[in-house]
Structure 1
């Protein structure tokens, strides 16, 4: 089964006065939909747009695997593990909140910042928080997230180029940029597909360069 969710149907959040614009693909914060709480271990897929100087002040997380993908601009991150980094487009950032961590996320640059943040439930709660950044991850290089039993694949496709969708119990596809086709569905930026029990699927690039995040997920 392939369930396509359109960009325009995401819940609009954030704080416009503070320079924060958010789009939520799952129930999040004040937005509650009992039929859209999660997909496998995926709890959230938020698109955040921060104006220069805007950001999220220090706040806590626990028992959550947080993966961030910068689309444009630079994200400044500081957390209670003592790390302070700048995450740029093409970098994969992973914060394992484990038993508890606090962090700050800001746009300290001069240009607007857009990033995707995906939250996954861990297989086992607790533990010590950890932080990883993979700079400039290459196309088709998987990033393993064993804490959630998941694997992230980054796909960049030219017009007409094809790539296999993992034959996993569940697959979550999010289009960052460009157009792609999966099965009979055409996906544009911000669209996603939740795939269950399918094998032999392909992503096909459409007009212009496409960038797609593909989560290979357990049942």
Structure 2
């Protein structure tokens, strides 16, 4: 089964007056849809835009794996586990909030910040917080805590890339345009997403130079694969 969500169909959020604009793919905050609570392990896929000087003050998280992909600008992160980091385009940040952690996310640069933040449900709640930054991600990133794998695809115009076969596959177009060859074939642009319930592999063909994030997830009811 394939479900397409266009960029314009995302739920608006954030605080524009404070320089924060957010677009939610799933139920989040005050936007509640009982039929759109999660997809596989994915609990949230938020497109965030922060003006220079804007940000999220210290706030708590628990029992969530938070993966952040910076598209433009610089994200300054600080958490109560003692990590202070600047995350730049091409870097992937992962915060395993475990039994509880508080953090701050800000745009301390003088240019706009754009990032995609994805929350996933861990297989086992609790434990100690974990943090890492992968500089210049190229290829895939495994997230065993959620039995998930993130694929970074950067096909040039005309190039193709396989879409993995899994119980749940989430395709998010960061930039450029692609044609997703599943049943039926679908054109996707920036901010568009496809949710594939499988297992059924497909193919993605770039119609312009593109950057695409693809989550490969198992059915959490089956346990670790």
Q: Same fold (TM over 0.5)?
A: yes
Within a 5 Å distance, the mapping from 1:117-128 to structure 2 comes to 117-128=117-128
**Cα distance in 2 for residues equivalent to 1:30 and 1:193:** 23
1:169 is displaced (CA, Å) by 1.1
1:143 is displaced (CA, Å) by 0.5
TM-score (norm 1): 0.97
Partner residue, 1:39? 39
Within a 5 Å distance, the mapping from 1:128-143 to structure 2 comes to 128-138=128-138, 141-143=139-141
In structure 2, stretches of 5+ residues that fail to align are 220-225
List per-residue Cα deviations over 1:61-101 (Å, max 9, x = no partner).
Answer: 00000000001000000001100000000001000000000
1:160 is displaced (CA, Å) by 1.1
RMSD over equivalenced CA pairs, Å: 0.7
1:200 is displaced (CA, Å) by 3.1
Count of aligned residue pairs for this structure pair: 216
In structure 1, stretches of 5+ residues that fail to align are none
Within a 5 Å distance, the mapping from 1:42-81 to structure 2 comes to 42-81=42-81
Give 4+ residue runs of structure 1 displaced > 3 Å after superposition: none
Partner residue, 2:222? none
**Cα distance in 1 for residues equivalent to 2:43 and 2:201:** 26
1:198 is displaced (CA, Å) by 4.1
Q: Secondary structure at the match of 2:76?
A: strand
